[in-house]
Chains A and B, each alone.
Chain A
Amino acid sequence: MTNVAVQGRYSESQLRVLIAAALLEVALSCGAEVVEPLSDDLALLESGLDSLGFAILVARLEEDLGWDPFSLSDQPFYPVRFGEFVAFYEANQP
């Protein structure tokens, strides 16, 4: 995945593209088939990745973005659906 150099904040649509690309890459690396399209109401654990896959995705995103919304957010959060997951990244940037 290429790091999109963006000044300031990422928009939700930029993050959506980044996250979807990273998700596909993680799925590819562990031989999982991803359910497409990645619609907002798709339950994450039904997207094709299991919880280990999501742990890898979150770690990869932190490497690519340079920040981790789970440590930046002061609200505890477990993502359930894809749309929430993207929105969580959008809302919790440095």
Chain B
Amino acid sequence: MKPINLEALIGGSRDPCEPAILSPDCGWSLMDLIKAGSCAALELAVHVGVVAICCRDPMRMVVALVALDGRVDRLILLANDLDRVTIEELLERSGARILVTDREDLDDFAPAIRWRGEVEPVRSARFALGEPDRLTIWTFATSGTTGAPKLVEHDIISLSRPLRAEHAWRWGQMYEMARFAGVQVFLQAMAKGVLILPHSRWPLKDKVAFIATNGGNAISATPTLWRKMLMTPEAATLQLHQATLGGEIADAPVLATIAARYPSARVTHVYASTEAGASFAVNDGLPGFPAAMLDIRGSGPCLRIRDGRLFIQSARGRRTYVGTNIAFSDDEGFVDTGDLVERVGERCYFKGRANGVINVGGDKVYPQEVEAVLLAHPDVALARIFAASSPITGQMVSAEIMMREEVGDRTVMTRKLHAYCAERLPRWKCPVIIRLVREIAANSGEKMSRAK
């Protein structure tokens, strides 16, 4: 039996001649995507067999995925903003033999296939990709907080398993196509509906305007991105039937604002990670998830709270990051999500990350790093950094500082400490609020409490 591939999956769920994707240049049917794939760059990629792709133009990413799935052994999807050193490291770890890219700044990268010509829905008789004949491994890079991203494997079967296309929505793509979340939105739209694909380099308001003017009625984005979208005047022109949030904690204000702004939209927050895959969805418009979803053994992923953290059992057993022996799931297949969860009655609420990382509008901050900077100040005795909630960025950095000696003018000292941080840290890591306190509480483990 021929293994399933992306081309067959899309072809099986829709008329191959009807529009599937709307890019700034034109509309694309599945047939158009297939035609555009017959080019020198992708033909060469098929021959090489283990290929990393990093493209600024999201349309190229789509064409490459359709062309290469089922025809290469392994695809490594790289976000278009990765730097050269990280790309080199990821290529080595993934075993990729070549990089397919349209990035001009990687012109001298080797080994690489430079994919520059126009991407057009025209079949070229000169290039043939051959019949799909294998199950391609898709390798995604996690959006790691420090160091190089880790690599996680999926395939078209595991990627498309959680999709239930009930409605033919017109999905506006807000994620990057190379990210796990971007591929989820793409596959959702291909199962039923249309993908509206703005250029990745456009400013947010232009992406929103492009989606709105082309009748986009479904959007999936992180809560951070939603907050930013809601602050653009263009967001008022959207008429949404589906608003999906994922990737970060969806708090009550952002959920309620989306529901109020788009009264005919179903508001869904999904829990998905590159490691655990797409795990569950909540549609009641409230933060957290019903406790009734815990410990259910059935067809879907099993959720469990251990030591206050959420664990998710993905379909397979113990899995490791590609190119390492670091396991991200135990023998039973449970992935430690690193998300703190508190059960209050019949509801479970997300309380932040177990490692204390603060998410400031999508940028990650390790409290220890900011504390170290403050502790280097000669007058500071102790410093505690923690997350404060912000209606605009979700979280922001807050500091409690104990000085070595009594301070004369507290306002002047606070200003000095703000300036001190600003000289030494990027702006999202600087404490927005600094409080001078007489003592800093330690919890029972002699560690400073990071709870608010």
Interface residues of A (CB under 8 A from B): 29-30, 43-45, 51-52, 54-56, 58-60, 63, 70, 75-81
Contact = CB atoms under 8 A, between A and B. Distances in A.
- Interface size range of chain B in the complex: 20 to 34
Interface of B: 205, 227-228, 230-233, 235-236, 253, 256-257, 259-261, 360-361, 388, 390-393, 396, 418, 422, 427-428, 432-433
B253 to A, nearest CB: 5
A70 B389 CA distance: 11
Interface of A is mostly: helix
Contacts of A77: 257
Contacts of B390: 55, 58-59
Contacts of B257: 76-78
- By Cβ-Cβ distance, the 8 closest A-B pairs, closest first, are A76-B256, A78-B230, A76-B257, A55-B392, A55-B393, A70-B391, A55-B390, A59-B432
Contacts of B231: 43-45, 51, 54, 78-80
Nearest to B261: A78
B452 to A, nearest CB: 14
A54 B392 contact: yes
Contacts of A81: 233
Given A45-B205, A51-B361, A59 B428 contact: no
Contact of B422 (A29, A45, A70): A29
A52 B427 contact: yes
A52 B361 contact: yes
A53 B388 CA distance: 15
Contacts of A30: 427
A37 B235 CA distance: 24
A52 B428 contact: yes
A75 to B, nearest CB: 7
- Chain B interface helix/strand/loop/mixed: helix
Contacts of B432: 55-56, 59-60
A37 B205 CA distance: 22
Contacts of A58: 390-392
B258 to A, nearest CB: 8
Given A30-B427, A43-B233, A80-B231, A55 B422 contact: no
A80 B236 contact: yes
Nearest to B230: A78
Most buried by A among B205, B231, B232, B396: B231
B230 A59 contact: no
Nearest to B234: A43
Contacts of B227: 51, 78
Given A52-B360, A77-B257, 6 more contacts: A51-B228, A59-B432, A59-B433, A70-B391, A80-B235, A81-B233
Nearest to B434: A63
A81 B388 CA distance: 25
A76 B427 contact: no
A52 B230 contact: no
Contacts of A55: 360-361, 390-393, 396, 432
A44 B204 CA distance: 14
Contacts of B396: 55-56, 59
B225 to A, nearest CB: 10
20 contacts: A29-B418, A44-B231, A51-B231, A51-B392, A51-B393, A55-B360, A55-B396, A56-B432, A58-B390, A59-B433, A60-B432, A76-B257, A76-B259, A76-B260, A78-B227, A78-B231, A78-B257, A78-B261, A80-B235, A81-B233
B253 A70 contact: yes
Given A76-B256, A76-B257, A52 B233 contact: no
B256 to A, nearest CB: 4
B203 to A, nearest CB: 9
A80 B396 CA distance: 20
A40 B256 CA distance: 25
A74 to B, nearest CB: 10
A79 B257 CA distance: 11
A80 B232 contact: yes
Contacts of A29: 418, 422
Contacts of B422: 29
A4 to B, nearest CB: 16
